[in-house]
A and B are shown apart, each in its own frame.
Chain A
Amino acid sequence: MPRLSAPGGLQTTTSYKVVLPFYTYGTFALLVAVGLLLGHTNIAKAHHFHPVTLSITHLMALGWGTMIILGASHQLLPVLIKGKLASNFLAYLSFGFMGIGIPFLVWGFYHFQFDWKIQLGAVLINIGVLSYVINVFKSIFESDGREVHAWFMATAAIWLFSTTFLGLLLVFNFTRSWLPSHSLAYLTLHAHMGIVGWFLLMVTGVGSRLIPMFLISKYSNKKLLWWIFSLINIGLISFIVFRSFHTASTAYYISIILTLIGIVIFGYYCFKARKTRIRKNVDYQMKLSLLSILQMLLPILALIVVLLLLPSQTHENLVLLYGFCIFFGWITAIIFGMTFKTLPFIVWNKVYSDMAHGVKLPAPKDLFNDKVFRVMLYLYPIAFVIFGLGIILKNDFLLKTGATALLLAALLYIYNSLITIFHKAKI
Chain B
Amino acid sequence: MDSVNTVTNDDLKCIKAFRGLYQVYDPEVGINVVDLGLIYELNFDSENKHLTCIFTLTTEFCPMGESITENITKSLENSFPDWEIDLSLIFDPPWEAAMISPEGQADLGW
Interfacial residues, chain A to chain B (CB-CB below 8 A): 2-13, 75, 79-80, 82, 209, 213-214, 216, 218, 278-281, 345, 348-349, 352-354, 356-361, 363-364
Contact = CB atoms under 8 A, between A and B. Distances in A.
Contacts of B25: 360-361, 363
B60 A363 contact: no
A159 B86 CA distance: 46
A356 B62 CA distance: 20
Contacts of A213: 59, 61-62
A399 B94 CA distance: 52
B78 interface: yes
A4 B67 contact: no
Given A278-B108, A279-B108, A358 B20 contact: yes
B34 interface: no
Counting chain B CB atoms within 10 Å of each CB, the highest count among A82, A358, A360 belongs to A358
16 contacts: A4-B89, A8-B90, A8-B92, A9-B60, A11-B65, A82-B60, A218-B96, A280-B108, A348-B64, A349-B67, A353-B70, A357-B75, A357-B78, A358-B75, A363-B27, A363-B30
Contacts of A4: 69, 73, 86-89
B56 to A, nearest CB: 9
B102 to A, nearest CB: 14
B108 A3 contact: no
Contacts of A279: 29, 108-109
Given A6-B88, A216-B108, A364-B28, 8 more contacts: A3-B85, A7-B89, A8-B60, A218-B97, A352-B27, A356-B74, A357-B24, A363-B30
A79 B73 CA distance: 23
Contacts of B108: 216, 278-281
Given A3-B86, A5-B88, A345 B64 contact: yes
A358 B66 contact: no
A312 B64 CA distance: 55
Contact of A3 (B66, B67, B87, B94): B87
Contact of A2 (B20, B59, B77): B77
Interface residues of B, number: 43
Contact of B69 (A10, A354, A360): A10
Contacts of A218: 94, 96-97
Interface string B47-91: 000000000001111111111011101111110000011111111
Contacts of B28: 214, 345, 363-364
A80 B63 CA distance: 11
A79 B86 contact: no
A364 B58 CA distance: 17
Nearest to B89: A6
Interface string B12-28: 00000000100111011
Nearest to B24: A357
Given A357-B24, A358-B78, A2 B109 contact: no
A218 B93 CA distance: 13
Contacts of B84: 2
A79 B61 contact: yes
Given A8-B91, A213-B61, A280-B108, A13 B66 contact: yes
B110 A280 contact: yes
Contact of A281 (B61, B64, B71, B109): B109
A209 to B, nearest CB: 7
A126 to B, nearest CB: 31
